[in-house]
């Protein structure tokens, strides 16, 4: 029986409770189920990878859906969406977080999310939740198509494992995270796809330098470590 990440297991559980088969929903509905499942990290004491005999088949079926199209995520499409009051793009200066309370995320990155097939931003519900009452406008971040290999895509635990193994940063006894300034030298951006959110978030992976766990991203999103060519923000 396979070990699954806690996000996809929670999503599979929610679908089963509502008697919904994974294939009965469209891409947008499936994505928001994944985001909702990821929010359980704040509600349960233990949110880590595990085997679950009762959910194994449903998780497998959902993983097959996540391996296709928008949910899988190949590359980074322009435009991206960003909620911001400013019409200008601030300079990017990447640093490792001073502490890891908010997850393994690069400080100083410029953050965007993709547009879903229905035209909404993949960050929209997180915006409503985390910035309630602020009413920041959604702008389009437009850029020149990235060269192959310019962005690192996290679509699975193995992808995150590769990133940490290549760019390790010790954060504790047998614990590591990503050394983001080193990543910024080699990649323009790192994107966590919907598949990565479902499969890799809160999934502990072993590396030669210690154990790592991707946390804190909460939604499909891209951390821009450097600005690509010909960028602009439009309303």
Domain ranges of the chain: 72-234
Write the pLDDT tens digit of every residue in 42-63: 888 899 999 999 999 999 999 9
HSE-CB at 153 with a 13 A cutoff on CA atoms is 15
Average pLDDT, the chain: 95
CA distance 200 to 197: 6
Write the pLDDT tens digit of every residue in 6-15: 999 999 999 9
Q: Token pair for residue 96? A: 């490792």
CA distance 172 to 205: 15
Instruction: Compute and round to an integer the Cα radius of gyration of the chain.
Output: 17
Q: Which of 59-63, 95-99, 160-164, 211-215 has the lowest mean pLDDT?
A: 95-99
Asked whether the bond before 27 is cis by omega within 30 degrees of 0, the reply is: no
Write the pLDDT tens digit of every residue in 156-188: 999 999 999 999 999 999 999 999 999 999 999
pTM here?
0.96
């Amino acid at each position: 029986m396979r070990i699954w990440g806690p996000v996809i297991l929670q999503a599979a559980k929610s679908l089963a409770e509502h008697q919904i088969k994974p294939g009965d929903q469209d891409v947008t509905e499936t994505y928001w189920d994944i985001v909702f499942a990821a929010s359980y990290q704040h509600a349960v004491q233990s949110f880590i990878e595990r085997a679950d005999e009762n959910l194994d088949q449903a998780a497998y079926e959902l993983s097959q859906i996540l391996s296709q199209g928008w949910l899988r995520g190949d590359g980074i499409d322009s435009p991206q969406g960003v909620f911001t009051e400013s019409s200008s793009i601030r300079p990017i200066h990447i640093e490792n977080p001073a502490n890891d309370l908010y997850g393994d995320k690069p400080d100083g990155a410029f953050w965007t999310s993709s547009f879903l097939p229905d035209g909404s931003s993949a960050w929209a519900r997180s915006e409503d939740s985390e910035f309630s009452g602020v009413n920041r406008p959604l702008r389009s971040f437009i850029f020149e198509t990235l060269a192959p290999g310019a962005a690192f895509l996290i679509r699975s635990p193995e992808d995150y494992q590769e990133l940490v193994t290549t760019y390790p940063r010790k954060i504790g006894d047998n614990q590591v995270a990503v050394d983001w300034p080193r990543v910024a030298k080699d990649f323009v951006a790192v994107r966590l796809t919907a598949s990565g959110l479902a499969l890799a978030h809160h999934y502990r992976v072993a590396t030669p330098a210690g154990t790592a766990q991707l946390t804190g991203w909460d939604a499909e999103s891209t951390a821009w470590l450097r600005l690509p060519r010909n960028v602009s923000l439009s309303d």
